[in-house]
């Protein structure tokens, strides 16, 4: 594995480091990070044993791959020396809403640029990441991308024009699921269950249903039909969801998030 430098040491960078080390795809000497003005780099270094050099030159000197994992709003203020310090390196960005053409202005001499949109389940290796590259990846660079993003879970390659939709669906999607879990919990309470029991039932129902979908060869509607008896309890609940246009609400939710992602892409 090539040496990897992380510009940023927050949750996603930490998740990548943890995944790479857990899968033995990299060893601590292969990895280094910087966290800017906060304490995240020191904490990540202390916990994992990776380096946290104080200056950019030391961070990037031996690195072949650079993972851009700072906050999106910090992109415009990055050190101008990065243009030269990343020359000939593969740069992988996980910054939401920052397009490849914008990244190319910051890293003009990188050998290739990859834009990726992971999601928060990547923190436990159960995420999925949509990604695209500025130009065709060499086989060795594709292997690096698969290893780095694979540390977070599964991945899917898409066109850049589709990344705003990826952001709206899977990037923001965990929040929708968490909200649905909270709604099920509250509904369980309203139906007479203790809050703790309602929450456990909601979480395990979502978890088990997701595992069943992942292992099934049929689509979600068929699994839904297998649960639903004519004029039964599930049927009664589904009819209420249909009457309130549940699918329409979810469609509006994803499209609103996609629109905001498109707006963010136009910001510096």
Higher pLDDT, 267 or 218: 218
What does the block give as tokens for 43? 């904490």
Could you tell me the end-to-end alpha-carbon distance of the chain, in angstroms, rounded to an integer?
Answer: 33
Would you identify the CATH topology of the domain 4-158? Rossmann fold (3.40.50)
Contacts of 257 (CB under 8 A, 6+ apart): 167, 168, 171, 172
Q: What global pTM score does this model have?
A: 0.91
**Cβ atoms 111, 91 nearer than 8 A:** no
pLDDT at 36 over 80: no
pLDDT > 90 fraction of the chain, expressed in percent and rounded: 91
Q: Name the band, by pLDDT with cuts 50, 70 and 90, for residue 232.
A: very high
Q: Buried b vs exposed e over 157-168: b needs ≥16 C-beta within 10 Å?
A: beebeebbbbbb
Rounded distance between C-alpha atoms, residue 68 and residue 94, angstroms: 6
CATH number given to 171-265 = 1.10.3730.10
DSSP state of 170: I
The overall average pLDDT reported for the chain is 95
Rounded distance between C-alpha atoms, residue 220 and residue 184, angstroms: 19
pLDDT confidence of residue 1: 65
Burial, 93: exposed, middle or buried (Cβ in 10 Å; 0-12, 13-18, 19+)?
buried
CA angle 243, 248, 253 (to 5 degrees): 135
Is there a shared CATH topology between the 4-158 domain and the 171-265 domain?
Answer: no
Domain spans of the chain, in order of start: 4-158, 171-265
Q: In which residue are the tokens 């966290």 written?
A: 35
Report the pLDDT averaged over residues 107-120.
97
Contacts of 173 (CB under 8 A, 6+ apart): 119
**Cβ atoms 257, 119 nearer than 8 A:** no
- β-bridge partners, 113: 91
């Amino acid at each position: 594995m090539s040496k990897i430098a992380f510009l940023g040491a927050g949750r996603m960078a930490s998740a990548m480091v943890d995944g790479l080390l857990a899968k033995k795809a990299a060893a601590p000497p292969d990895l280094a990070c910087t966290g800017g003005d906060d304490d995240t780099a020191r904490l990540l270094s202390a916990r994992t044993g990776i380096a946290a050099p104080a200056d950019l030159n030391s961070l990037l000197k031996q690195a072949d791959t650079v993972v851009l994992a700072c906050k999106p709003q910090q992109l415009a203020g990055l050190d101008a020396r990065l243009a030269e310090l990343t020359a000939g390196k593969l740069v992988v960005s996980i910054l939401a809403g920052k397009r490849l053409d914008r990244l190319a202005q910051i890293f003009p001499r990188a050998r290739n640029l990859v834009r990726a949109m992971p999601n928060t389940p990547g923190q436990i290796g159960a995420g999925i990441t949509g990604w695209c590259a500025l130009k065709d990846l060499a086989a060795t660079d594709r292997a690096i991308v698969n290893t780095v993003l694979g540390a977070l879970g599964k991945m899917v390659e898409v066109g850049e024009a589709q990344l705003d939709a990826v952001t709206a669906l899977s990037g923001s999607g965990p929040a929708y699921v968490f909200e649905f879990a909270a709604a099920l919990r509250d509904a369980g309470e309203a139906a007479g269950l203790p809050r703790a029991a309602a929450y456990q039932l909601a979480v395990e129902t979502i978890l088990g249903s997701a595992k069943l979908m992942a292992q099934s060869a049929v689509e979600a509607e068929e699994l839904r039909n297998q649960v639903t008896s004519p004029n039964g309890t599930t049927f009664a609940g589904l009819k209420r969801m249909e009457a309130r246009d549940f699918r329409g609400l979810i469609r509006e939710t994803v499209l609103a998030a996609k629109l905001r992602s498109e707006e963010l892409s136009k910001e510096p």
